[in-house]
Amino acid sequence: MRALRDWLARRTSTQLASALAVLAALALTGSLVLTGQAVRMDQRQQAALSALDDYAAMVSKLGVETDFNPSELTAGDAAYLSAWLGAFQSGPGRDPGSLEETCRTGRGGAGVRYIRAPVGKPAGLAALATAPSERLPRLGENVWRVTLARGELCPGRTVEAVVVRRTVGSLNIIVGRVVDPTGRALGWAVLAVALTGAVILISGLAAAAFARRRLTLAITGVSQALDRAAIGDFSVRAPEVGVAPELTELTVQANRTLDRLEELLSWLRDSADQLAHDFRTPLARATARMERLAETDDADERSRLGLEAAHDLKALSRAMNEAMALREGEAWLFETVRLDDLAEAVAELYEPLAEARGVVIRVERPAEPVAVLGVRSLLQRAAANLVDNAVKFSPDGGTVTLRAFIAAGRPALSVRDQGPGLDPRLLSDAALRTASAEAGGRESHGLGLTFVATVLRRHGAEMTIDDAAPGTIVTAQFSR
Amino acid sequence: MDLETESAEQAFAAMTAMFDGRRALLLEDDPDLSEHVADRLLRAGFAAVDRVDTGEAALQACASGAYDVLILDRLTKGLDGLETLKRLRASGGPCADTPALMLTALGGERQKVEGLLGGADDYLAKPVGDEELLARIGCQIRRTARHARPAGADILNGPFRLSPGARTLKLELETASRLIDLSPLEFAIVQELMTARGQPVTKTMLWDRCWVEWKFLPENFVNIIDARISALRRRLKEQAPELGEDLHPLIVSARSQSLIFRDLDR
């Protein structure tokens, strides 16, 4: 079984199709041969039945006279029989033109007779007794097939007859019928089989061409979408339904991969912009300080500049770490992250910092778990960043509320503070970037909300910022 | 504060005493960085620092002599640091059990895991400050020195008895003995600091070992740790008032990035 599967796996579709065609041709030929034999047998059987019929009619006609005793048979009897047979040759109820027609057309049906008495001349077709014959036991006792050569019955053709050889009293009687040649019936059969074959072939070819066209179309769709993607255009998608159902899965999969790649790429582009800023600012500052360091001779100034440059380098290495974290998020597998547990953990993490300013961090968690699929370290960073901001902007003695919940089947995490609130003009994505860039100078603000937004987008989540009057409520709404 | 500074400098001096006469192998192919690290180690008390710049040379050096600590870069010419370490661990030679620190630019979470699985005892991402590096090396050497002692044994420091198995901190005074009430995180911090026995523990080390569920180092982790330590100091002071004003805070800052649990036996 395994060997067969392996063998099949190595054959191309064309080879398999050719093999199928050869097998089909063999089967059709085989069925023709079988049909031919069956037709021939059927015609012989019909001839034999007719011959037996003729024989019965003949015997009943002979009636009492059948009781011919060879010793008593006179020449007169023989003459009588001969005359009777002559009269009978055309047969009772037979179409007189049938022999002539048989010879002309080759169609079967004509009756042949031969009778021989112990005395006198035999009557009828002598060739029936002399021509090569073969017994046909399957058609009955004393049934023979006789081949009558050209000139023996018909002047122009060889015919085959099925005859019954019987002895009535002292008479040898041979009665038979010319067999319809199989050619004609077989011709019909061949025609039928050939037509069937043709119909199968044409419909098969048509179906194959149709299927091939459909598959090619679907594959072309996928291939075009991939080609466009290869040169950076992710707008093209292969049609998923209505082309080839066999390929729907592949198409859907290819499109999903493209969606994901597009999402990742746009995400990467965004974070690269952000990173460029995070790298360049400290780099530029450090460069400027180094230049001044080279110019100045004042020892205090030199050591101050050196320290400041070291600080810039630290900022640079922090930006580097963030960049690596995002790359890390790129590579790691998604896992189940419980938002409610995350809220609890972040609250615990920031509790002492908040406490120092009299800020209370409250966690509201629902009865049921709130879980999302995500990169744990990135979600931790995002949540920590949100809470860090909320604590920082809270007035002394304020409250920060963390809430994990499920809204309309979608898990969400919200962080609410009682700070001054955000200017609604800052709520657009581009403005957010500016806001965080402006805040970038402030200690430990880091990538700020842009980083959170980047991480959330990476998880297919939306970030909304609403006015909580007083304060702000930031909600991360996940899709799954 | 004077007292605190004094205590901190004592801690670093104690570390120097521990480094005294030790030998280190440094695999690093950047000559400047290699020289800088070697210089710092020698200044901290190391007797010898053998510098090599390929994995093959490191294997050779290890075959001919034993070291107290291995400091390996990952991306080196020839055999890389991680592969070198794996071979050393498998070799059964003199360096098979020597504590090893990976000191590398590959600082990702996954790379860290790779390094630790590859046989490293600690994994540091460049750039690393001198204070951090020395504290981490000190921690590794201390662990080797403590190897003979049964794991999970109680740690005593003055009147404090810390039982790692039961996860309890007990104050045993002549008059009374009572358990100090600590949260699991606070206990982990105290355990980490007390295990260091008066030697400095950097805040990064503390973050790595006590805030284990956090897969990243927040930018303001220093503030977070400082706030947590302040709360912990208050808690210890409230629950152990008998020690007297001059011994509090029990946890003192050392240099810029380290913390020390005061050695009360000294």
From A324, A348, A388, residue closest to B108, measured CB to CB: A324
Beta pairing partners, A159: A148
pLDDT tens per residue, range A216-271: 888 888 888 889 888 888 888 888 777 778 888 888 888 888 888 887 787 777 77
From A331, A356, A377, residue closest to B216, measured CB to CB: A377
CA distance A377 to chain B (A): 5
pLDDT of residue B91: 85
pLDDT tens per residue, range A19-65: 887 888 888 888 888 888 888 888 888 888 888 887 887 777 766 45
Ranking A75-79, A169-173, A178-182, B73-77 by mean pLDDT, the lowest is A75-79
Collapsing DSSP to helix, strand or coil, A175 comes out as strand
Task: Pinpoint the alpha helices (H) of A296-375.
Answer: 299-331, 339-355
Q: How far apart are CA A323 and CA B107, in angstroms?
A: 11
Task: Kindly report the number of other CB atoms within 10 A of residue A409's CB atom.
Answer: 7
pLDDT of residue A447: 44
pLDDT tens per residue, range A364-403: 988 889 999 888 888 998 899 899 888 988 899 999 999 9
When scoring A350, A386, A387, A442 by the number of chain B Cβ atoms within 10 A, the one with the most, hence best to mutate, is A350
pLDDT tens per residue, range B3-50: 556 666 777 777 788 888 899 999 998 889 999 999 999 998 899 999
DSSP per-residue letters across A67-95: ---TTT--HHHHHHHHHHHHHHHT-TT--
Query: CB–CB of B41/B64 below 8 Å?
Result: no
Chain A CB contacts of B215 below 8 Å: 376-377, 380
From A324, A331, A444, residue closest to B219, measured CB to CB: A444
CA distance B212 to chain A (A): 12
Nearest CA in chain B to A443: B220
Evaluate if residue A441 carries a pLDDT over 50.
Answer: no
Inter-chain residue contact B223 with A353, CB threshold 8 Å: yes
**Does the complex come out with an ipTM higher than 0.85?**
no
% of chain B beyond a pLDDT of 70:
94
**A352 Cβ under 8 Å from any chain B Cβ:** yes
Chain A CB contacts of B231 below 8 Å: 352, 355
The band of B137, judged by pLDDT with boundaries at 50, 70 and 90, is very high
Chain B CB contacts of A380 below 8 Å: 214-216
Give the pLDDT mean for A437-456.
56
Burial call A50-65: b when 16+ CB within 10 Å, e when fewer: bbbebbebbeeebeee
Chain A CB contacts of B109 below 8 Å: 328, 332, 377
Inter-chain residue contact A381 with B109, CB threshold 8 Å: no
Chain A CB contacts of B220 below 8 Å: 388, 443-444
Q: How far apart are CA A293 and CA A303, in angstroms?
A: 9
Chain B CB contacts of A321 below 8 Å: 107, 217
Query: CB–CB of A366/A404 below 8 Å?
Result: yes
Inter-chain residue contact A352 with B224, CB threshold 8 Å: yes
Nearest CA in chain A to B216: A377
CA distance A383 to chain B (A): 11
**B217 Cβ under 8 Å from any chain A Cβ:** yes
Q: What is the dihedral of CA A122, A127, A129, A132, to 10 degrees?
A: 170
**A441 Cβ under 8 Å from any chain B Cβ:** no
Q: pTM value?
A: 0.61
Inter-chain residue contact A350 with B108, CB threshold 8 Å: no
CB pairs under 8 A between A and B: 52
CA distance B6 to chain A (A): 25
- H or E element in which residue A43 lies: helix A13-62
Inter-chain residue contact A381 with B110, CB threshold 8 Å: no
Closest CA to A462 of A438, A434, A416, A427: A427
**B188 Cβ under 8 Å from any chain A Cβ:** no
Beta-carbon contacts of residue A384 (< 8 Å; ≥ 6 apart): A346, A349, A350, B214, B218
Tell me the pairing of strands A335-338 and A171-178: unpaired
From B107, B215, B219, residue closest to A318, measured CB to CB: B219
pLDDT tens per residue, range A407-433: 888 999 999 988 876 655 455 554 454
Chain B CB contacts of A356 below 8 Å: 227, 230
Angle at CA of residue B189, ends A326 and B45, nearest 5°: 90
Query: CB–CB of B171/B159 below 8 Å?
Result: yes
Please name the residue that has the structure tokens 């050591």: A303
**A310 Cβ under 8 Å from any chain B Cβ:** no
CA distance A444 to chain B (A): 6
